[in-house]
Amino acid sequence: MNDTDVLRKNISVMEEEEIARRLDVGMFSDEARPIAEEELEKKRGAREKAEKEAGETVVYRLQFTGSGGEYFRIWIVNLLLSVLTLGIYSAWAKVRREQYFHRNTLLDGSGFDYHGNPKSILKGRIIAVAFVAGLWLVDHTAHAFYYPVVLALSPFIPWMMIRSFIFRSRNTSFRGLHFDFHGTYKGLCKTYLAPFIALIFLGWAIAYVGVMGAEGRIRPGEMSSMIGGLFLLMLLLMPMLLHRFKRFQLDHLAFGASRFESHFKLRSFYGVFLRAFVLTPALIGVVLVLVFALIGFMVAQGFTVMGALGRPGGGIAIGVMVALAYIMAISVQQAYFAALTANLVWNNTRLDTHAFKGDQAFWGICKVAASNGLFMFLTLGLYWPWAKVRLARYRASHTAVLTAGDFDDFAAGAAKEQSAIGEEIADIFDFDISL
């Protein structure tokens, strides 16, 4: 019996959950990992077959099969052509990227697909750039009118968002069946416009208080208190805005003739923000501990901090260490917030009689995010394709569809009921707002 057979035998006696856990934390060697992944798929397939035969709820986990090397070739070509064409090729680059990630995300052995029209995306981006450029021009030539102009244009933003949702959903399919979006401009305005206008007003108020403080019209202590209070109100509004946004987005999304339904509560989003932002000062503390540990090490070696800064490259070395710790901390905080939000959304969403499950764990996402940040820093950004693939693989493996019955029967039934979408799926707007 050779080494491969021994590995296969040892892995085959493990439970499905144990193999999945060890894969998540990277406990398998490079030689053992593909064997473990193959064995995990066998065990999942056997379990799903048994559950189907028993008429129980079947758990279908998503699977991402792409690789960093494959995506690097797509990414580098996209980057070079986008630069050479002054951004024009970026629309075609987006279609290639979306198709790669959609087609390599599998559910029950079938991949998703993306059908976006690059020309429609390019038209939307030209309008979006013109919109942003106009705001920038107002901000730098007539700053006093910036917030009034943003306020005046705010009713236009929900319309763009609706077109974005429709474009993205109708250009996404699974097993030949397209998603759809049934939200309306009026409905989104009712949901979104009031808290958005409140955020704009608070942003304008913070800027106005800052100007008053700079001109000496209010004391520094008063300025700090007023800005702090206004900023706190903004933070309190953000969970409400995200809650309304996700509810509207999911409650109007459909797969064939079947509509998604969300059941998450507003207080749960405040919980997500609280847990994510409690982590922020903790991560800042870790960064400070690392910096002081570095300084302590230097002192123990007989260097003074000022002496190290005066040495050739000494200041750069300290700056690099601080920057690296900061990048890793921010990467972890952002990934953890996204993981908490995804778990909350999917665990409280249904599609017809089927449910979803998100179980991204703190230490699992921290490991992926921190190592991605580290390798991105060390490679000056060239690790980006591998970082995207690793994150996509982790998120897919921790997202599942719980079907009441046979998934094939459900998909076939939905396809029969869906009306033809036709050529209207090509729209001029495309903004990358995803679930």
| DSSP assignment of 325-353 | HHHHHHHHHHHHHHHHHHHHHHHTEEETT
Question: What are the C-alpha distances in Å from 220 to residues 212, 217, 224, 226?
Answer: 10, 9, 6, 10
Cα–Cα nearest to 109, from 417, 407, 416, 377:
407
d(CA 184, CA 237) in angstroms, rounded, equals 23
Helices (H) and strands (E) in the chain, counts: 17, 11
Q: Which two tokens stand for residue 68?
A: 């960093």
pLDDT value for 173: 94
pLDDT value for 284: 66
Q: Are 248 and 191 in contact (CB under 8 A)?
A: yes
Chunked into runs of 10 residues, the chain (435 residues) has average pLDDT values of 64 69 68 74 66 66 93 96 93 95 93 91 82 85 79 80 88 92 89 80 83 80 84 87 91 90 91 82 68 63 53 60 75 88 94 90 88 89 94 94 71 50 39 38
d(CA 232, CA 206) in angstroms, rounded, equals 11
Q: Are 350 and 251 in contact (CB under 8 A)?
A: no
φ, ψ for residue 28 (rounded to 5)?
Answer: -90, 145
pLDDT value for 419: 41
pLDDT value for 109: 87
Burial 99-122 (b: 16+ CB within 10 A, else e): bbbbebbbbbeebbbbebbbebbb
φ, ψ for residue 112 (rounded to 5)?
Answer: -80, 175
pLDDT value for 425: 36
